[in-house]
């Protein structure tokens, strides 16, 4: 193993406005090694990858590729030998395997494709990832997801990449293919490539990594050879911060079961059974792609389920019918408030009225004065900062927008609410405000399912959690049994064991 650095980060920081996302990051990728990068959601991994890919420039500090400064645009970074393989496929499904492998990189003679040369080049790349047997002319959409993932790697190899950055490459792969991918990575390492491997699956790291770097809140909090780590130590390094005390959880006397879902099968959900009581807050915990959002969308009638059944107060919920769910008092607070939660060009009073017309209309005619006064009332109750209820919601800050969503959901005294990451992208101050209202809803009798990209938050506010992995429920814990490490183990371990 050569002892030279292929990539060096020196005091790299990145701020977006006043918010520092990465702070003084320094570490190096040694040539011909696999370095694992881990950290919770929001720790700064994706920002770091964006910097390495040349997509964004660091605010301060610098990045060296070999001994040269990293170029400042993505094309030049790729040409200099550093390629990033993203979590989602970036191939063009209807183009052939050959054209995808050589995307933007075809050898031409006098403007015409030099087919033989191209085929030879593609084969060299495909051989390294074990795909040399495939038909080069078939459209790439005919391949399995795993094969397409490997083809992405081959594409980078054809471009003479020396450094590969893989961002969660196994998140959408079935178990058997994960082993294959890890073998390919080890083979590439043996050929002298330098690899940065980013993942939530800690066990994968122990199989392939030579070194581990841990990010937390934008700083490197751990960096050492693989021998120094075990899973427990790694998890502690990732999460080591006190459970936030900002969430005023109080014990509530739970009522009877309000919603029950049995053996639900849907896209992204495989045989899950859940139930919830009135006044209860139940957290859904899992890695990205574990099926949390999918489960919520099934329970709220947004997506249909193929098997199983959902009952609310004993009455059946019709599969994939939002109107049925709403009639039973089941509401959905979507994850992406800008795309799914709000009509940004609409006024605050309009956004509060959407879907709740029975409160502000009679015989189909709107009571404009009532819409206005309701908006003023909600503005005070939820301390939404706005100039006037007729102001466009799009002009409000993220936290205030989320409060509008919250106000709309709360005004109907729902039976069950599914909040998908209600504090996403919201600053700390607004966060505890949002949770106060969620507690308020719960103590008034509403059952609440919720997710968060921050597991600590869930553990701070939930009465009970379901742990999800691969679309299944792999654990159910009461508040008295909450143990972050145990839950994280469940979520990442079970994801591998229970696949397919």
Of residues 112 and 363, the one with the C-beta less far from other proteins: 363
User: Does 345 contact other proteins by CB under 8 A?
Assistant: yes
User: Does 368 contact other proteins by CB under 8 A?
Assistant: yes
Of residues 393 and 467, the one with the C-beta less far from other proteins: 393
> Considering the complex, what minimum distance in angstroms separates the CB of residue 392 from other proteins?
8
Q: How big is the site for other proteins, counted in residues (CB under 8 A)?
A: 40
User: Does 25 contact other proteins by CB under 8 A?
Assistant: no
User: Does 341 contact other proteins by CB under 8 A?
Assistant: yes
> Considering the complex, what minimum distance in angstroms separates the CB of residue 355 from other proteins?
4
User: Does 379 contact other proteins by CB under 8 A?
Assistant: yes
> Considering the complex, what minimum distance in angstroms separates the CB of residue 391 from other proteins?
10
> Considering the complex, what minimum distance in angstroms separates the CB of residue 426 from other proteins?
17
> Considering the complex, what minimum distance in angstroms separates the CB of residue 15 from other proteins?
16
Site stretch for other proteins (CB under 8 A), options 68-76, 195-203, 234-242, 351-359:
351-359
Per-residue contact track with other proteins, 289 to 318, x per CB under 8 A? -------------x----------------
Q: What is the 3-state secondary structure (H, E, C) of the chain?
A: CCCCEEEEEEEEEEEECCEEEEEEEEEEEECCCEEEEECCCCCCHHHHHHHHHCCCCCCEEEEEECCEECCCCHHHHHHCCEEEECCCCCCCCCCEHHHHHCCCCCCEECCEECHHHHHHHHHHHHHHCCCCCCCCCCEHHHCCHHHHHHHHHHHHHHCCCCEEEEECCCCCCCHHHHHHHHHHHHHHHHCCCEEEEECCCHHHHHHHCCEEEEEECCEEEEEEEHHHCCHHHHHHHHHCCCCCCCCCCCCCCCCCEEEEEEEEEECCEEEEEEEEECCCEEEEEECCCCCHHHHHHHHCCCCCCCEEEEEECCEECCCCCHHHHHHCCEEEECCCHHHHHCCCCCEHHHHHHCCCHHHCEECCEECHHHHHHHHHHHHHHCCCCCCCCCCEHHHCCHHHHHHHHHHHHHCCCCCEEEEECCCCCCCHHHHHHHHHHHHHHHHCCCEEEEECCCHHHHHHHCCEEEEEECCEEEEEEEHHHCCHHHHHHHHHHHHHHCCC
Of residues 109 and 387, the one with the C-beta less far from other proteins: 387
Of residues 139 and 394, the one with the C-beta less far from other proteins: 394
Site stretch for other proteins (CB under 8 A), options 189-197, 211-219, 321-329, 443-451:
321-329
Which residue in 65, 184, 274, 353 binds other proteins (CB under 8 A)? 353
User: Does 326 contact other proteins by CB under 8 A?
Assistant: yes
Site stretch for other proteins (CB under 8 A), options 154-162, 221-229, 358-366, 459-467:
358-366
> Considering the complex, what minimum distance in angstroms separates the CB of residue 390 from other proteins?
6
Interface with other proteins in residues 389-418 (CB under 8 A): 390, 392, 394-395, 408
Residues at the site binding other proteins, with contacts judged by CB under 8 A: 302, 322-323, 326, 332, 334, 339-346, 350, 353-357, 361, 364-366, 368-369, 372-373, 376-377, 379-380, 385-387, 390, 392, 394-395, 408
């Amino acid at each position: 193993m050569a002892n030279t650095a292929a990539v060096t980060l020196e005091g790299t920081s990145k701020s977006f406005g006043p918010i520092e996302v990465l702070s003084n990051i320094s570490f190096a990728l040694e040539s011909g090694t696999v370095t694992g990068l881990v950290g919770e959601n929001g720790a700064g991994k994706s920002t770091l990858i964006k910097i390495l890919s040349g997509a964004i420039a660091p605010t301060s500090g610098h990045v060296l590729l070999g001994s040269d400064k990293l170029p400042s645009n993505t094309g030049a970074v790729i040409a200099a030998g550093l390629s990033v393989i993203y979590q989602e496929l970036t191939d063009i499904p209807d183009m052939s395997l050959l054209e995808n492998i050589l995307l933007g990189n075809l050898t031409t003679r006098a403007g015409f494709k030099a087919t033989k040369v191209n085929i030879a080049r593609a084969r060299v790349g495909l051989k390294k990832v074990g795909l040399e047997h495939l038909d080069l002319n078939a459209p790439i959409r005919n391949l399995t997801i795993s094969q397409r993932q490997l083809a992405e790697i081959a594409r980078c190899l054809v471009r003479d990449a020396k450094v590969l950055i893989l961002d969660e490459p196994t998140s959408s792969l079935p178990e058997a293919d994960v082993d294959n991918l890890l073998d390919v990575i080890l083979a590439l390492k043996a050929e002298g490539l330098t690899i940065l491997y980013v993942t939530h699956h800690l066990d994968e790291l122990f199989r392939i990594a030579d070194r581990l770097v841990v990010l937390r809140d934008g700083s490197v909090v751990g960096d050492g050879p693989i021998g120094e780590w075990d899973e427990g130590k790694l998890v502690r390094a990732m999460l080591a911060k006190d459970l936030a005390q900002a969430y005023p959880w109080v014990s509530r006397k739970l009522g009877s079961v309000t919603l029950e879902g049995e053996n639900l099968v849907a896209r992204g959900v495989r045989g899950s059974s859940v139930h919830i009581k009135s006044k209860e807050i139940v957290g859904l915990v899992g890695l990205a792609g574990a099926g949390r959002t999918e489960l919520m969308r099934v329970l709220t009638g947004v997506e249909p389920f193929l098997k199983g059944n959902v009952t609310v107060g004993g009455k059946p919920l019709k599969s994939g019918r939002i109107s049925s769910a709403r009639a039973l008092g089941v509401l959905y607070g979507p994850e992406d408030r800008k795309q799914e939660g709000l009509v940004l060009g609409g006024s605050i009073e309009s956004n509060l009225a959407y879907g709740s017309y029975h409160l502000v209309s009679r015989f189909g005619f709107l009571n404009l004065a009532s819409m206005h006064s309701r908006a003023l009332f909600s503005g005070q109750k939820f301390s939404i900062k706005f100039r006037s209820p007729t102001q466009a919601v799009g002009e409000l800050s993220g936290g205030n927008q989320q409060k509008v969503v919250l106000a709309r959901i709360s005004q109907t005294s729902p039976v069950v609410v599914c909040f998908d990451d209600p504090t996403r992208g919201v600053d700390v101050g607004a966060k505890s405000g949002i949770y106060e209202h969620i507690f308020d809803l719960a103590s008034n009798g509403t059952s609440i399912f919720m997710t968060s990209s921050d597991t600590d938050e869930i553990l701070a506010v939930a009465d009970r959690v379901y742990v999800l992995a691969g679309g299944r429920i792999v654990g159910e814990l009461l508040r008295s049994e909450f143990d972050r490490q145990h839950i994280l183990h469940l979520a990442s371990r079970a994801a591998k064991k229970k696949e397919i």
